[in-house]
Structure 1
Amino acid sequence: MASKKGAYDTTASDTDFRKKFDRAEYAEKAAAREALEKEESKARYEAKLAGKKYYKPASGNEVLTEARNSRLDVSANVGKIVLMPAGAATGKRGRGAGFYCKDCDLTFKDNLQWVEHVNSKQHLVAIGESGEVRRAGRGGGA
C-alpha cells in the first residue's frame, strides 16, 4: 500500500504552506488602530461642533511652501524636435509630447495646464511640500 509521503519524503498536508499568524500581535495592532480612529473621530466631532472643517494634522516631514526664486522657463524647448514612441502617453499619464512633470509622471499639452499643475496640491504633495506658507509678520519672526 502507498505511504502518505510526498515526493520529497515529507508528509502531505494541504495547509503547511500557509502563514502562521500571531493573534496577540494583530489584536494589539487592531487596538492601536481603533484608539487612533477614536481620537480622530473625537477631533472631527469637536471641529464640527465649533463649526470648523477638520484637517488631519501634518506628519511633520513636510516642508513649508516658498516662493520660487526663478521664473518658470516654458520656452526652453521651443524649436526642439523630440521623437516619441508610437504608443506614448495617449492620456496624461506617462511621458508623451508636451510638458512633462517627472515628479508626478504626467504630461500636459499646453503650458497653462502645466503651470496650474505645478501650483496644484497634487504636485506639492508629490515633491514633499505641505502647501502651507509661513505667515509674514512685522516683528521679523513668523
Structure 2
Amino acid sequence: MKRLALALTLIAGPLWALDPSEMLEDPALEARARALDHDLRCVVCQSESVASSNANWAQDARRTVRELVAGGASDEAVMDFFVARYGEFVLMSPRASGSTWMLWAAGPAMLLLAMGLGYGYLRGRSRSVASQEGALTEAEQRRLQEILKE
C-alpha cells in the first residue's frame, strides 16, 4: 500500500505544481503560459521544467510568466526576459546561436569524423593485404615451381 501511495505521489506530483490561484482566466493565455513553463528550466531543481517543479523559484517564475503573458509580451520576449537574467541555462532546449552552435554541431561533426577515420582505416587495410599477397620472392617462386612439378 505504501508503494502504491508513493507511486501515485511521484506520478501525480507535477499535476499539483501549478496552484489554481496562479492560473490566468483567459484559456488561450493560460495555454501559452503553460507551454512557456515547459520550455523553462527550474534553476533550483536543474533537471525539471518550471511547470513540474514545486520549488519557490519555479512558483515565482510561473507567476512572472503569467504576468508577462497577460501584459501582452510575446513568447520570444518572455524567453528573452529569463535568458537575460539567468543565461541560456534556463532554457530546456538551448538556442543554436552564439556560443552554443559548437555544442549543436559537435555531435554530427564527431560522427562524420569517426566515419571518415573508419573508412580510411578499412581502405588502407584492404590495400596492404592485397599488395602483400602477390609479392613472392625469387626463392619462393623457385620452390613453388619445384613443388608444382612434383
Of Structure 1 and Structure 2, the greater helix share is in 2
Report the TM-score when normalising by structure 2.
0.19
- Highest CA radius of gyration, 1 or 2? 2
Of Structure 1 and Structure 2, the greater strand share is in 1
